């Protein structure tokens, strides 16, 4: 089983990169299963039903994972409850919209996908280390392939988590920082690990956002609303091969692709997304 994971999709440039580049990358990597983190896909914050359905349809994405912006768009709450192929972090309190674990059947075998959020420098959530112990107890023993999207800020916390579950899951791939790391490896007991998959979004930006707006925050200390940057975009991700019989990782390789030309952001569309953001 070859799993292709695409890092945080940011705004329209990121969505365009997924639509244009993912089919080719999927073919080149011979991926059997595709997971995309879409938590920044709607104007940089959250996701909408239409965006998710477009990824499922046009881009043939199998599963979408989210992170700390899972509930940023008010109208997505019902969708998260209804759609089993979209996963928000598992370690939020009971009763919040959506689900954090899904098991998906494929000819090569069942794939369990788990979304978790870290705690260091992040909004409050339950302990992901204790949460994964409980979650793994609920996974049927017949499901050998287990993939974890670990959404977090601190590299040390992500690495500690990788070692904590080494041999118990097939792969742990970090998201959230929007900067791809170069530490891909298979840990000693067979778990593929990468601290962060990186961002799928505008190249000439500050983690996907307009450079001038983001820089002014550092220069003035004043808060201003982020805006998704325009221009060509880069898709960042990772492909992991897993032994479907044992669930152990066989290989891990970073992948990327770039769109050409300058494609302006639809300001009316982005403004519409921002009007839906929870405050």
Active site residues: 69
Q: CB-hemisphere CA count at 13 Å for 152?
A: 29
pLDDT tens-digit series, residues 184-198: 999 999 999 999 999
Among 244, 157, 200, 160, which Cα is nearest to 17's? 200
Gap between the Cα atoms of 25 and 5, Å rounded: 11
The pTM score is: 0.92
pLDDT for 144 equals 97
pLDDT-derived band at 225 (thresholds 50, 70, 90) equals confident
pLDDT tens-digit series, residues 7-66: 999 999 999 999 999 999 999 999 999 999 999 999 999 999 999 999 999 999 999 999
Burial of 175 (0-12, 13-18, 19+ CB in 10 A): buried
pLDDT-derived band at 74 (thresholds 50, 70, 90) equals confident
Q: CB-hemisphere CA count at 13 Å for 164?
A: 16
Q: What is the mean pLDDT of residues 91-109?
A: 95
Q: Within 10 Å of residue 134's Cβ, how many Cβ atoms?
A: 11
pLDDT tens-digit series, residues 161-181: 999 999 999 999 999 999 999
Q: Within 10 Å of residue 168's Cβ, how many Cβ atoms?
A: 17
Q: What is the mean pLDDT of residues 64-83?
A: 92
């Amino acid at each position: 089983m070859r799993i292709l994971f695409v890092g945080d999709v940011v705004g329209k440039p990121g969505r365009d990169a997924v639509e244009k580049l993912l089919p080719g990358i999927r073919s080149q990597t011979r991926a059997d299963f595709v997971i995309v983190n879409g938590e920044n896909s709607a104007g940089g914050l959250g996701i909408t039903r239409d965006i998710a359905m477009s990824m499922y349809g046009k881009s043939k994405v199998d599963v979408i994972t989210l992170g700390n912006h899972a509930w940023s768009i008010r109208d997505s709450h019902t969708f998260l409850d209804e759609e089993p192929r979209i996963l928000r972090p598992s370690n939020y309190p009971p009763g919040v919209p959506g689900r954090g674990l899904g098991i998906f059947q494929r000819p090569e075998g069942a794939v369990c996908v788990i979304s978790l959020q870290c705690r260091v420098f992040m909004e409050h959530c339950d302990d992901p280390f204790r949460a994964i112990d409980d979650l793994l107890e609920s996974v049927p023993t017949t499901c050998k392939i287990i993939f974890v999207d670990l959404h977090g800020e601190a590299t040390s916390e992500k690495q500690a988590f990788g070692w904590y579950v080494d041999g118990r899951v097939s792969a742990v791939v970090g998201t959230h920082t929007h900067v791809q790391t170069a530490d891909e490896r298979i840990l000693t007991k067979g778990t593929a690990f990468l601290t962060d998959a990186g961002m799928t979004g505008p190249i000439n930006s500050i983690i996907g956002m307009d450079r001038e707006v983001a820089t002014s925050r550092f220069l003035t200390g004043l808060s201003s609303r982020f805006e998704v940057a325009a221009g060509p975009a880069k898709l960042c991700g990772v492909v992991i091969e897993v032994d479907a019989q044992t669930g152990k990782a066989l290989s891990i390789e970073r992948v990327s692709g770039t769109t050409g030309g300058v494609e302006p952001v639809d300001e009316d569309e982005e403004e519409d997304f921002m009007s839906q953001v929870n405050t």
